[in-house]
Structures are given as C-alpha cells and as structure tokens.
Homo-oligomer: A and B are copies of this chain.
Amino acid sequence: MAPPSTFRGVNSCSSLGIGLAGFGTVGSGVWNTLHRNGQLITGRTGGGVTLHISKILVRDPARVRATVTEVPREVFTTDWRALVEDPAVDIVVELIGGTTDAFEIVAAALRARKPVVTGNKALLAERGVELFALSKEMDTPIHFEAAVAGGIPIIRTVQDSFIGNRIHSFSGIINGTSNYILGRMTDAGLTFEAALAEAQALGYAEADPALDVNGWDAAHKAILLATLAYGFPIDPKEIHVSGIEQVRPTDIAFAKNLGYVVKLLAVIREHADGSVELRVQPSFIAKSNILASVHGVFNAVAVHGDAAGESLFYGRGAGQDPTASSVVADLVEAARSLRQTTGHRGFLPYRESGELRPVSETSTAYYVRFDVTDRPGVVAEIATVLAAHRIGISGIHSPVDPSDPDAEFKDMVFLFHTCSFGKLQSALDEVAELDCINSTPVVFRIETLG
C-alpha cells in the first residue's frame, strides 16, 4: 500500500511553492501526480525537495474540471501578474500555450528570478532567442522537458547524458497525431480525412489540428532538439517543413508494396562542414527499421552520438500523465537549482549562431507522385526532363492493371535515386510545365536511417 502522501497542495511552510499557469489536461495531471507521488519525490531527494501548488491561473474558476478534487478555491486566480508576483510562488509552470500571453508570463517570471517550467514548444522555437537571453541575464533557468516527446526524457538525455557526445543525427517520430493518422491509413485503409476525424473523436487531435498535420508541431520540437545538440538558435522561417495532408491512400499502398512505411519524420543531421540539416516531412522508411514499429500515438527519437553510438528513446509522446511526468521532473530540477548559491542546470544556447544547411543541399532518394493526363508519351516526357537534369530513375509505377484495356490512370509514381533536393526541385519545376501534368507533384523522401 502506498503511504499517505505528504502533498498538501497549499500552505506548506518548508516546501517550495508552484504557480501553475494553465489548468487543462497537463496542469491537472501535474496536480494529480504531485498529490499521488509527493512523498515519494521528497524521499527520493533525501528530503531535500517538497513541492506544493500555491497558485493556479485559469480563465474562469467556475469552469475548472471536476476531475481534480481538493483544489481549494482560493488557489485560483485569473490574473497572471498576481500569480507570478505572489511571494508564495517560487517556480512558475507555463502551460497555457500560444506565444503571446505565455511569453509575457515566462518573461515576467524570469525577471522575478523564478525558474520556469514549460511544455510550450511553439513559444521556445519562435521566441527562444529572447527568452534564453533573459534566462542568462537573470541567471534563472527555463526547463522544457515536457515540450518535446511528452513523457520521453529526451531533453535531459541530450543535454546531460550525451554532453560528451558530438551528435551526428536525430531521426524522430515526434508528433503522435500524425503517427496515429498515418497508422490508420496504413492498417485500416482509411483516407486522410477519415483518419483525422477518428483521431479527433478519440481526443488525439485538437479541434484545430493544423499544427499537428502540417508538420509544425514536429518542427518546433525538432528546432529545440537541434538547438540543444548544436547550441545555436534556429529561425523557424529557415527550415523545410511539410505535413501529412498530402498523403493519399495510393501513397500508403505504394510504400507497402515497396517494403516501406510512411512516417512523418523529423531529421536533424550535422554535416562534416559543421552545417546542420533540419527538415520535417512525410518519409518512406524501411519496414525493418525500428522506427517503423512505432505505432499509434507513441513517439520515438533515434540519436546517433560519436561516443554513445546508436540509441533509441521510445514512449508516450503526449497525454496528461506522461507530460506531467516530465513537468514534475523539471520541477524537481528547478527546486534543486533554487537551493544552490550559484549556477543553474537550465539550458542556454552556447553558440551565437551556426550554419543551417539549405534544404536544397540536403540529399535523399525520393518518391514523387505526378497527377497526369493519361496518354501515350507521358512517361517519356517526364523521364526526358529528369535525364537532362541527370537524376536517376529507379522505378516507375502506376496503380492500374495493365491487362485492363479500359483502365485510365491519374497518378503516376516515380522513384528517384539520391540527389540534392535543389536539383530535384529544378527538374520538377520543369516537369510541371509539361501539358500532361495537372498539378504540383507530391514529393516524399525515402530515408536511409543509421
């Protein structure tokens, strides 16, 4: 039997006070986890860390979900300044999302020298430069384990456990919603639209799923991983991101036949010249690759370090309790830093700038789906353009039965040998001018992973 928790919620004298900005899914998960495991945490820190939640920012206290019991009404506030400035708040947890109010709250907390814990990947990817500068100036850490891959401790792993490693590459499945949708398209033959509707019905996708399906949620996380590994801030405007909206059942079927599965993949790689490749897009990966076995809303990040070699970190990438697990780990870290006289364990960028490799100079093999008018000569015309650009073709497929004289096709699929994306793009721009081509070709990468 678990002993009764020492977690008292509020008014604990010798313990550190948490100001929780946001009390949705993750916020109430943090309350529950501290309630359930507070005594365990105190024991594991040798009695050094006791935490209580002293203030909670909500839009409307009357609408707080009933699933969280025992929250005294006086803990709630609707004024974020009151939360940050409350002397009973030692650490601020930002869980409201967005990049405007959240920015104000985090900045105000840092200025008040209160450590910040956040799960807000968009905020740090878009406005990290300002916030990390403030973190440095105020000698006050920002912890963000919950911002990448939910309950998987990939931030701390890269920052601390692999500190002695030059990181060659990451390959990550870091958006559970996209992975669920692609999985249902693969296993149940659903269309993108039907799989998305199912994900929404199950609560795996937001009412507005844009950031999940357009790749930007994964891109924000990839930016944070790259900044951790290579030390310099990365401008979201400079990276290449495409989402899964363009994936059609025909692509899934082709991938299957060719021995691949389609995954939304974040690829980060340091080149020999020091430049960093960072891109997010639907990719074909070999069925035998361990990342192909990452199903449903699970996340996984493969890391290749020069000392540690190949590693993989797999787990729940979202959800109330897994994300709360990461927030609580960061709270303990923040609490420990408050007990120190100098220095903190939060991340700070350690290079002012670095070179991001242009996507045009990144190379893989490709799968390209052309929307064509079915007439003799189509294949020859496309192939001729590619030949002029010196791009090798490794396969041409159409989804019709060649023995059926009445079959007409719309989709024609080409597989291309490895070349730079810039070279491919030039060729495809020229192909798009052909009168047999009816819309912009759809390009997926074929990845060869470590």
Q: A332-B164, A336-B345, A345-B336 are in contact. Are A312 and B309 (CB under 8 A)?
A: no
Contact A307 B321 (CB under 8 A): yes
Contact A348 B46 (CB under 8 A): yes
CB distance from A201 to the nearest CB of B (A): 21
Contact A151 B307 (CB under 8 A): yes
Task: Select A33's contact among B273, B307, B341, B343, beta carbons within 8 Å.
Answer: B307
What sequence of 0s and 1s flags, for each residue 312-348 of chain A, a beta carbon within 8 Å of any chain B beta carbon?
Answer: 1111100101101110110111001001111101001
Contact A164 B350 (CB under 8 A): no
One of A153-161, A364-372, A387-395 contacting the partner: A153-161
What separation, in Å, do the CA atoms of A214 and B233 have in the docked complex?
50
Residues of A in contact (CB 8 Å), total 67
Contact A165 B37 (CB under 8 A): yes
* A163 CB–B CB distance under 8 Å: yes
* A239 CB–B CB distance under 8 Å: no
Q: A305-B325, A309-B316 are in contact. Are A231 and B37 (CB under 8 A)?
A: no
* A442 CB–B CB distance under 8 Å: no
Contact A324 B293 (CB under 8 A): no
Q: Which residues of B contact A272 (CB under 8 A)?
A: 1
* A152 CB–B CB distance under 8 Å: yes
Q: A33-B164, A166-B40, A350-B44 are in contact. Are A315 and B311 (CB under 8 A)?
A: yes
Supply 8 further A-B pairs (C-beta < 8 A) apart from A43-B351, A151-B305, A290-B293.
A2-B166, A151-B309, A153-B160, A156-B161, A162-B329, A163-B328, A307-B324, A309-B319
6 contacts between A and B (CB under 8 A): A1-B273, A45-B163, A151-B307, A152-B308, A164-B331, A312-B313
